Amino acid sequence: MDVIQTINEVKSLVKKARSDGKTIGFVPTMGALHEGHLSLIRAANEKCDFVVVSIFVNPTQFGPSEDLDKYPRPIEKDIELCEKNNVDLVFNPAVEQMYKQQNLTWVNVEKITECLCGSSRPNHFRGVTTVCAKLFNIVKPDFAFFGQKDAQQAVVIKRMVCDLNMDLEIVVCPIVRAADGLALSSRNAYLTPEQRKDAALLYKSLQNCRQLIEKGEKNSQTITDQIRTTLSESPLIKVEYISIVDFHSLEDIGRVSAGTLIAVAIRIANTRLIDNILVD
């Protein structure tokens, strides 16, 4: 496995793999790898011959009061996990490598970045789409793997790839959860034991909501109210949003049906957690 910091070296190693007839799979991450990331790496290995993982805490997707500085960066452990999971190339650039000069060119997907997480994180998706466009240009993958955990991100990236006629396919993989249902996230490490216990209510609220829908409830307001009631079992939880939207347009809908995304964001102290379910 190669661990590479420079763009030119990545380009030439990927070019070599491609000239050997290999298909290229790409998993972009910010590191602090967990089973959620590893599930994407496994999916990439199943579908592709040569797997590239990027580990880059992208500053342009963090707001000024967000956790850029304290974001975990256990690079040695991450490299070990990549090695164990048959990654061919880890791209671990410094910020100066990815942003060599003041960045004047941005990729901005409109409308679907303004709702849900975009309401409280202005410019977040602009940072995500810009860095993904840069990474896609560097790695030139056939397939890139994203998690359903960040549902809005997956929708936005798919839209960017489609609108800009990028030559790759986006594969979205299921959410990997802890034993109590909490979606795995690098940010779970910020939680104290007491906060971690209450964080499980996020998944519980979505499970209750799924049961309600299975019983025949379709009204978005009723479902939202029930999620809010479950979350109110913990005084530590502050609800940021509960959104019931169409999975592609991300527009609010009044009645759920197949293809509806139910997405929730909460804060426990300074830690922001998101989760979602897709109605099938």
By annotation, the residues acting in catalysis are 37
Interface with ligand AMP (CB under 6 A), residue from 45, 113, 185, 226: 185
Is residue 245 near ligand AMP by the rule CB under 6 A? no
Distance CA 71, CA 154 (A): 21
Is residue 146 near ligand AMP by the rule CB under 6 A? yes
Which window, 176-184, 217-225, 227-235, 257-265, contacts ligand AMP (CB under 6 A)? Answer: 176-184
Is residue 176 near ligand AMP by the rule CB under 6 A? yes
* C-beta closer to ligand AMP: residue 30 or 265: 30
* C-beta closer to ligand AMP: residue 13 or 132: 132
Is residue 37 near ligand AMP by the rule CB under 6 A? yes
Question: In the beta sheet, which residues pair with residue 276?
Answer: 263
Report the chain's terminal Cα–Cα distance, integer Å: 39
Size of the site for ligand AMP (CB under 6 A): 17
- Footprint of ligand AMP on 248-267 (CB under 6 A): none
The CA-based angle 254-117-28, given to 5 degrees, is 125
State the minimum distance, in angstroms, from the CB of residue 150 to ligand AMP.
4
Interface with ligand AMP (CB under 6 A), residue from 30, 82, 89, 199: 30
State the minimum distance, in angstroms, from the CB of residue 108 to ligand AMP.
19
Identify the residue whose tokens are 């997907």.
109
State the minimum distance, in angstroms, from the CB of residue 10 to ligand AMP.
18
Buried b (16+ CB within 10 A) or exposed e, 11-22: eebbeebeeeeb
Is residue 54 near ligand AMP by the rule CB under 6 A? no
Could you give the C-alpha distances from 15 to 23, 86, 200, in angstroms and in order?
11, 19, 44
Is residue 91 near ligand AMP by the rule CB under 6 A? no
* C-beta closer to ligand AMP: residue 36 or 118: 36
Q: Which residue is nearest to ligand AMP (CB)?
A: 147
State the minimum distance, in angstroms, from the CB of residue 27 to ligand AMP.
7
Distance CA 105, CA 107 (A): 7
Interface with ligand AMP (CB under 6 A), residue from 7, 29, 48, 275: 29
Which window, 143-151, 224-232, 234-242, 262-270, contacts ligand AMP (CB under 6 A)? Answer: 143-151
Rounded to 5 degrees, φ, ψ at 80 are: -60, -45
Is residue 127 near ligand AMP by the rule CB under 6 A? no
Binding residues vs ligand AMP (CB under 6 A): 29-30, 36-37, 39-40, 146-147, 149-150, 173, 175-176, 183-186
